[in-house]
């Protein structure tokens, strides 16, 4: 591997990291200022919103890009806030199914508006044509990028 | 804002998030399996390596894309592991300067090798020409993306 190639890889990675971090902070700031919600909690609510019949905690961990330990902590805090409910699975009595509560649904609807408005603000200066091209290159890059060995 | 534009923005954001998360997990897995180091700790060591005269904790928080609370926790754990030293600033007696210790320097040199090899593995299937083009589009997108209001 040449030094140029290594520098290029490092610069691409730092650029991805900084882009992700800029948008993440903007979304996190808006959600927590306006609704006291973190992006991490928002992502759990968003997934549960897509599955009205609920999701097992294992499945939820798989979908979300966080470790099992983090999901348990998030679920515990969302339960404490009455934003989700947890019940025993009828198929597998050893596993629990999480669902949005009524309070969780209402909060998620508000949060989705805040999230989408802030994201629109982040990308406000990017023309739609360019953003479409960016999506295509990101998909290609993602498809070629090797993740952790166990994934 | 049209629905198409909103969907496009969401898809770009989820793509960035998933790309970042895939590479982050790969690096984190390699660093922790081989050296018991997290990417977060590695990033602190990498910054301190660039500043042999040390960095104040405030400056370190600014450079790293983590909140002040996280930096304090990381610094505390790196101190406990003797990987960094902390001394009072000669310019400002209210602030502390963190530096790499000898043990920290040695570990960082090993960690940099592990990090760079794993990153090379992640991008192994991406030709250099395409990676160069990706860097350019990421930079343009980053430059146009608005971050948190306080930044």
Give the pLDDT confidence of A65-116 residue by residue, as tens digits. Answer: 655 557 888 899 999 999 999 988 777 777 889 999 999 999 999 999 999 9
DSSP for A87-114, please give it. EE-SS-TTSEEEEE-HHHHHHHHHHHHH
What are the CA-CA distances from residue B46 to residues B3, B25, B27, B49 (Å)? 42, 18, 14, 5
Q: Which residue of A has its CA nearest to B113?
A: A6
Residue at A25 is within a domain:
no
Residue at B124 is within a domain:
yes
The series of mean pLDDT values per 10 residues for chain B, 151 residues long, is 92 93 92 93 92 89 66 90 90 86 97 96 97 97 87 46
For A104, the domain range is 39-144
**Token pair of A129, please?**
């044509």
- Predicted confidence at residue B65, as pLDDT, reads 62
Judged by CB atoms closer than 8 Å, whether chains meet at B138 and A12 is answered as: yes
* CB proximity A122 to B under 8 Å: yes
Q: Angle at CA B71, nearest 5°, toward B70 and B75? A: 120
**Which one of A21, A131, A141 has the shortest CB-CB distance to B134?**
A141
- Predicted confidence at residue A35, as pLDDT, reads 96
Residue at B13 is within a domain:
no
Q: Which residue of A has its CA nearest to B5?
A: A128
Provide CB contacts within 8 A for A81, sequence distance 6+.
A103
Domain count for chain A: 1
Three-state DSSP class for B146? coil
Q: Flag whether pLDDT at A1 surpasses 80.
A: no
Residue at A93 is within a domain:
yes
Residue at A151 is within a domain:
no
Provide CB contacts within 8 A for B4, sequence distance 6+.
none
> Do B100 and B84 touch, CB atoms closer than 8 A?
yes
Q: What pairs with residue B88 in β-bridges?
A: B96
Give the pLDDT confidence of A20-52 residue by residue, as tens digits. Answer: 989 999 999 999 999 999 888 998 999 999 999
Q: Which residue of A has its CA nearest to B141?
A: A126
Query: Sheet containing A96-100: which strands, arranged edge to edge?
Result: A55-56, A96-100, A84-88
- Predicted confidence at residue B69, as pLDDT, reads 57
Kind and range of the H or E run holding B55: strand B55-56
- Predicted confidence at residue B90, as pLDDT, reads 79
Contact map slice: B 46-65 vs A, CB within 8 A:
65
* Cα–Cα distance measured from residue B44 to residue B23, given in angstroms and rounded to the nearest whole number: 18
Which residues on B lie below 8 Å from A20 (Cβ)? Answer: 16-17, 20
Which residues on A lie below 8 Å from B17 (Cβ)? Answer: 20, 24, 65
Sign of CA dihedral A113, A117, A119, A120: positive
ipTM of the complex: 0.86
- Average pLDDT along chain A: 90
Judged by CB atoms closer than 8 Å, whether chains meet at A15 and B144 is answered as: no
* Cα–Cα distance measured from residue A60 to residue A66, given in angstroms and rounded to the nearest whole number: 9
- Predicted confidence at residue B137, as pLDDT, reads 96
Which residues on A lie below 8 Å from B20 (Cβ)? Answer: 16-17, 20
- Predicted confidence at residue A66, as pLDDT, reads 54
Q: Rounded to the nearest 5°, which phi and psi values hold at B37?
A: -115, 140
Residue at A80 is within a domain:
yes
* CB proximity A88 to B under 8 Å: no
Q: Rounded to the nearest 5°, which phi and psi values hold at B3?
A: -65, -40
CATH of the domain at A46: 1.10.10.10
Could you list the beta-strand ranges (E) of A14-148. 55-56, 84-88, 96-100
Residue at B110 is within a domain:
yes
Residue at A123 is within a domain:
yes
- Predicted confidence at residue B151, as pLDDT, reads 46
**Which one of B10, B116, B121 has the shortest CB-CB distance to A119?**
B10
A90 Cα to chain B: minimum distance (Å): 32
């Amino acid at each position: 591997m040449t030094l140029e190639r290594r520098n290029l890889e490092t610069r691409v990675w730092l650029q991805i990291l900084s882009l992700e971090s800029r948008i993440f902070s903007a979304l996190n700031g808006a959600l927590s200022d306006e609704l006291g919600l973190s992006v991490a909690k928002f992502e759990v609510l968003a997934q549960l919103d897509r599955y009205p019949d609920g999701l097992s905690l294992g499945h939820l961990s798989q979908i979300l890009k966080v470790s099992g330990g983090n999901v348990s902590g998030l679920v515990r805090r969302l339960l404490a806030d009455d934003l989700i409910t947890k019940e025993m699975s009828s198929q597998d009595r050893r596993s629990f199914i999480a669902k949005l509560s009524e309070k969780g649904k209402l909060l998620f609807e508000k949060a989705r508006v805040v999230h989408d408005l802030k994201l629109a603000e982040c990308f406000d200066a990017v023309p739609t044509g360019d953003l479409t091209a960016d999506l295509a290159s990101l998909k290609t890059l993602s498809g070629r990028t090797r993740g952790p060995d166990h994934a």
